[in-house]
Structure 1
Amino acid sequence: MKEKVKKIISHELFILGLILLLALILRLINLGAEPYWGDEVLSLDIVRHYHNNLAEMIRYIREIEIHPPLYYILLNFWSAWFGFSELAIRSLSLVFGLATVWLVYYTGKKFYPATKFGLVAAFLTAILPLQIEYSQEARPYVIICFFGLLNIFGLWQFLETKNKKYLAIFIVSAVIGIYLHYSFALALAGTFSWWLLNLFRKNKSREIIYWLSSIFIVFLSFYYWFTAFLYKIILSKVELYGLFRTGTSLRSFDFFERTVYNLLWLTKEKIISPPEIFTVGLFKVIFVGLLFVWLYRHKDNIKELIAKGGGKIFYFLWLIIIPLILFLFSPQSYPYAPIIEKHIITASLALIFIISALIINLKPKEKLLILILFCLSVVNFDVRIIGDDSIWDPLHRDKIAADYINESYRIGDLVTIYYGCGRTDFNHFLKPEISAVSFYPIFPLAWQDDYLASRETIGFMENESQLRVKTPTEQEFNLKMDYLLKKYKPKRIWLYGDDKLPNEWLRAHNWRYAIKSSGHLFPVDLYDVKN
């Protein structure tokens, strides 16, 4: 009996089951408890608004939204089955997050058969903060990661076996990925360039027809959406109401170091605790040290080992380096959000594969040491990731602020928010009879006059104002405020946001504080007219 139990416990599928269970537990914590934040609500409300009209939803995405349509289509069908709660909507990402852990195992088993590579890589993926974060968020990034890995797997297997089914996997995953998010092109740049390099390195230039055909099929499949993609690019160069798209090509000096760091030890904070710095630093030192130990042990047959298994390591490195370089020169690498590394999330798996490749070649005690150190290095980051961000993160405070306004709202109140792109996010949490209005963009004066705007969906100019940031002039702001006061004739005005301009204007025009904001964690002000 003991032998039977021991055999079951040591079986690879049993261990994989435990890893998947661990991944599930980590990803379920606070999955439905944490309120939606802006980007999640934006996706969700588009789907809710057009829930019974898929064609109109695709039209809206084509003309207004920045992103391609596949995630919204998936969310549309998913919500029809499971509803619109936080737990239901985010569970789509949860499913793909778990599927990614499984696919990491399967890929590892194919890459390094007769080893524990797949299990090690799956375990590291299960506890990786970046993977946990996007398995809990109602956005497409972990789904991109799944199809990115499928793309990586399909290409390698095709190049090794020449089996056309793997070429089909490579092409189909490429098409699905690019319809999920444009940043998937960064991952495709890695795989397609590796394929081309492989053709010339192995003097197989005659097989370039497969490479060209694959690019053609992917482009042809994307052609349906290509005009919308070009429209967005051309629109970015056009002046609208005197506004041009803003942005900068400047990046921080430590861009590469910080980006790679966040792929493994994700944090939204600029500074972290000394123990976290120490454990991460210790892991790096021990990892490099054990790498040199391994090289020394095999110094006599290193060329043979590289010839035997080095190709996969170079493949993984290539899939990190090429997307990372292209990411540097892309607009998405500007720190417009707390986590920009989501655009190259697939590269995190390539890093995991490299770490796993060293681990399986170490001695048992060394394997245990490096695994323990990695676990210690990520544990604090995981705790913060699975915690409730609404406790400390202003981006998750919409619901708390809206609940307060819902309780204190009186007929005749006007609820305002500074930027138009946040209007629909805030409306999501307000009572149906309450609709927020925005100060910016200044034009059009009423959001109802904005093209395809509704209570749940931002309009054309509201969407463009996200990328055309400009502080209004005094004259422009006076025009907007005069319009709002004449239109709504409010007795009290709620301000959501910590912007100075509306507060200064109201205090200068015979309005007084009834409730004052307590800072960025509760930026709600209430004004009424002075007697």
Structure 2
Amino acid sequence: MSLSPPRRTSVFILSGIILLAFILRIYRSDTYGIWFDEKATLLISQCIAMEGANQHDVFDKKDSPYFTPKEFWKPKTFADFSEAVQRSDIGHSPAYYAVLWIWEEIFGLSDLSIRFPSIIFSTLTVLLLYFFAKRHFRLEPESATRLALISAFIAAIEPLFIAHSHIARNYSMTFFLTLLSTHVFLIIMEKEQKKKAPTKLYLGYCALIATSILSHYLTVTVFLCHGLYALLYVRKWPMWYKLGASFAVAIGFVSLWMIFGGGQSTFFTLNHQAVFYRNLALTNPVNSGFGLILPATIPNVFWRSLPIWSDLVLFTNGLATATAGYRNVGVALLIGLLSVFLIYRYRNQRQPPQWVKFVLPVLMLAGLAFYSIYPLQHLVLSATLPLFYLMIVALLEDFRPNDRPLIVFLVLLSVVPTLFLILMAFRSGHTYGLTQRYSGFSFPYVIILVAILIRKLSTQKLWLSLPLTAVLIIQGGLVIQLLQRIYNDTAAKYTSFSVPRTTNPFRESAKKIEALYAPGDTVLYPSLKRREYSDIDKSGRPYAIIDAQLVNIYLPKDATYYQRIDPMERDKIVLVKGKTGQKITIFDLEGTKYRY
């Protein structure tokens, strides 16, 4: 079956976008070694608790201080998996760890391998967003395809998606699962409008709810939006019964994990963390070792959440932290307000005055004379109000009344996850949880809203479209600079680092041990003193063994290398030659430099 020329063109463009998305995600994805959260991911996926609470028979033998990789890699059970998740990630994300375990069994434990599922899920999110936008808007086929392609392209270059595709954590998977859940939910709504949705759709939806929540607990904010949509627009009682049953069965599966699995300590741990971080916010907000944690006052929550809101939208990405000074911001917003007035007054006039055709770019460029710092960012800021205004105009003008429920749904999905974080910040009394990745489920829906804006902008008169398009191009350049910082490991918000990491020191140490070890040798591991914050953290020993765990992860599973913890050493992994007693430094971890 041959495709029509327009469809052939759209398939070609979509293929290019997906290829671009994959390249942007795989590029430099294994350049830097695993960081603290990824260390937890790696160990949990192998059913091992960080600091070895389920490995006392390996590290705490009464008759011998020695252990071997073969002992370290003894077969694990579901109880080991459950305990590892409970102790190392508050009973969180078992579905993700299960998927990663299967992947690792096939493709091994390299840095690229453990990050590759994130790359795949992130790339699939771009493809799914194309089908989502094309399917659910009642537009002419050509217009729907254009909207879908724009949405996919924005998702392909979205910095948050790219950054989290480089991290062996659950976020990329949950972004995909929640978008797929919403896609299936809307298909159910659509089919129920016409006749009756098949049971298999409800079963699939139920499975997606359970899998999403068991991948990240905060995905419940997306399903809260589903419930709000049903409350506002569903009027058929049979649909309520089926949706209610889907939710009930899904929550039942989740409850099994919460009652009998590793999630049974989740609520205790979350409550403990809330008290712990609140005390830090009140006593040591700056130098706590956990970043800046502030009390949840209205000003603190406002300023900490502002970057989350601004970075949700591609054309405002980075503006909350890059714009500075009340005078600069005031000038930019004043120009934005004047621009909105001009657009409101003259946009629909067939023949506006000649001066209108020049005033918008002149007005925006005039602001450059007043900005004392970050002039390009303030120039972009001056265009944000007219861009948001044009987005609202597009939502009101370009969609029929029957599309209004879908628009309301998109807005809910765009804002509720972040509003939930803000509510939880006030409830817990601190700002520690106000971070973009916890509300990243909103990004696909915001991307569609931005695509609607760009589609509208392309239909406007040149005096309006050219200046705003030029600003979007400038913002595109700023986003490219951000991507460069992400690839260079210096974008702290996205990578947690401002100084680039090295390659994985634990994998390199394992390779060196494997090359140098001979029978009779002994490997010595350092033993930093560790802090235990709750009963969940307790391992029964006062020193850390995670360095030994991470090196053994990369050693051959059947090796019988003699190893032990050196209580007198804090930094160095050392190989002691059995015949000569010579000490060879395998790696110097330099305190906490390589341990974050």
Alignment TM-score, normalising by the size of structure 2:
0.62
Relative distance call for 1:286 and 1:436 in structure 2 (3 A) is farther
Identify the residue that residue 224 of structure 1 maps to in structure 2.
Answer: 256
Identify the residue that residue 393 of structure 1 maps to in structure 2.
Answer: 497
**92-101 or 6-15, which deviates more:** 6-15
Is the Cα–Cα contact under 8 Å of residues 283 and 373 in structure 1 kept in the other structure?
no
* Matches of 1:287 and 1:386, distance apart in 2: 29
* Matches of 1:101 and 1:156, distance apart in 2: 18
Identity %: 20
Ranked by relative contact order (alpha carbons within 8 Å, sequence separation 6 or more), the top structure is: 2
**Out of 23, 26, 45, which is 1:25 matched to?**
23
* Matches of 2:32 and 2:318, distance apart in 1: 17
1:362 deviation in Å? 3.8
Residues 200-256 of structure 1: per-residue CA shift (max 9 Å, x gap): xxx4456421232122111122121121535321355579xxx96333661422344
Please, which runs of 5 or more residues in structure 1 have no aligned partner?
Answer: 410-430, 459-486, 497-516, 525-531
* Matches of 1:495 and 1:252, distance apart in 2: 42
Identify the residue that residue 170 of structure 2 maps to in structure 1.
Answer: 140
Is the Cα–Cα contact under 8 Å of residues 184 and 201 in structure 2 kept in the other structure?
yes
Q: Where in structure 2 are the equivalents of 1:432-451 lying within 5 Å?
A: 433-441=524-532, 449-450=540-541
Is the Cα–Cα contact under 8 Å of residues 131 and 148 in structure 2 kept in the other structure?
yes
* Matches of 1:5 and 1:158, distance apart in 2: 29
Identify the residue that residue 157 of structure 1 maps to in structure 2.
Answer: 187
Is the Cα–Cα contact under 8 Å of residues 18 and 127 in structure 2 kept in the other structure?
yes
**Out of 195, 217, 224, which is 1:189 matched to?**
224
Identify the residue that residue 484 of structure 1 maps to in structure 2.
Answer: none
Amino acid aligned to 1:234: F
**Out of 70, 91, 105, which is 2:95 matched to?**
70
Residues 1:261 and 2:291 are matched in the alignment: no
1:27 deviation in Å? 0.9
Residues 108-142 of structure 1: per-residue CA shift (max 9 Å, x gap): 11023512111110000001111111111100101
Identify the residue that residue 128 of structure 2 maps to in structure 1.
Answer: 103
Relative distance call for 1:489 and 1:308 in structure 2 (3 A) is closer
Is the Cα–Cα contact under 8 Å of residues 46 and 457 in structure 1 kept in the other structure?
no
Relative distance call for 1:126 and 1:156 in structure 2 (3 A) is same
Amino acid aligned to 2:165: S
Relative distance call for 1:267 and 1:143 in structure 2 (3 A) is farther
Is the Cα–Cα contact under 8 Å of residues 104 and 114 in structure 2 kept in the other structure?
yes
* Matches of 2:264 and 2:158, distance apart in 1: 36
1:440 deviation in Å? 1.9
Please, which runs of 5 or more residues in structure 2 have no aligned partner?
Answer: 49-72, 282-294, 324-372, 514-521, 550-564, 574-588
Amino acid aligned to 2:483: D
Identify the residue that residue 458 of structure 2 maps to in structure 1.
Answer: 363
* Matches of 2:437 and 2:595, distance apart in 1: 28
1:355 deviation in Å? 1.1
**Out of 173, 179, 198, which is 2:233 matched to?**
198
Identify the residue that residue 353 of structure 2 maps to in structure 1.
Answer: none
Q: Where in structure 2 are the equivalents of 1:38-77 lying within 5 Å?
A: 38-48=36-46, 50=48, 52-61=75-84, 63-65=86-88, 66=90, 67-77=92-102
Identify the residue that residue 343 of structure 2 maps to in structure 1.
Answer: none
Identify the residue that residue 170 of structure 1 maps to in structure 2.
Answer: 205
* Matches of 1:30 and 1:188, distance apart in 2: 34
Residues 353-385 of structure 1: per-residue CA shift (max 9 Å, x gap): 111122223435649927635533522222222
Identify the residue that residue 317 of structure 1 maps to in structure 2.
Answer: 411
Relative distance call for 1:374 and 1:76 in structure 2 (3 A) is same
Amino acid aligned to 1:189: L
Identify the residue that residue 276 of structure 2 maps to in structure 1.
Answer: 245
Is the Cα–Cα contact under 8 Å of residues 194 and 315 in structure 1 kept in the other structure?
yes
Residues 387-435 of structure 1: per-residue CA shift (max 9 Å, x gap): 234999268648688899999x9xxxxxxxxxxxxxxxxxxxxx96324
Residues 1:214 and 2:246 are matched in the alignment: yes
Amino acid aligned to 1:311: P
Tell me the SS of whatever aligns to 1:253: helix
Identify the residue that residue 472 of structure 1 maps to in structure 2.
Answer: none
1:344 deviation in Å? 1.5
Residues 1:329 and 2:423 are matched in the alignment: yes
Residues 1:124 and 2:157 are matched in the alignment: no
Q: Where in structure 2 are the equivalents of 1:406-445 lying within 5 Å?
A: 433-441=524-532
What number of residue pairs does the alignment pair up?
Answer: 437
Is the Cα–Cα contact under 8 Å of residues 229 and 409 in structure 2 kept in the other structure?
yes
Amino acid aligned to 2:42: L
Identify the residue that residue 343 of structure 1 maps to in structure 2.
Answer: 438
The CA RMSD measured in Å over matched residues stands at: 4.5
Amino acid aligned to 2:211: I
Residues 291-313 of structure 1: per-residue CA shift (max 9 Å, x gap): 47758xx8xxx5x9451433322
Tell me the SS of whatever aligns to 2:529: strand
Residues 166-201 of structure 1: per-residue CA shift (max 9 Å, x gap): 4334322111101111111122211222222222xx
* Matches of 1:276 and 1:189, distance apart in 2: 38
Identify the residue that residue 387 of structure 2 maps to in structure 1.
Answer: 287
Alignment TM-score, normalising by the size of structure 1:
0.69
Relative distance call for 1:354 and 1:286 in structure 2 (3 A) is same
* Matches of 2:5 and 2:380, distance apart in 1: 35
Is the Cα–Cα contact under 8 Å of residues 525 and 548 in structure 2 kept in the other structure?
no
Residues 36-57 of structure 1: per-residue CA shift (max 9 Å, x gap): 1110111102324657425144
Residues 88-116 of structure 1: per-residue CA shift (max 9 Å, x gap): 11111000011000000010110235121
**22-31 or 356-365, which deviates more:** 356-365
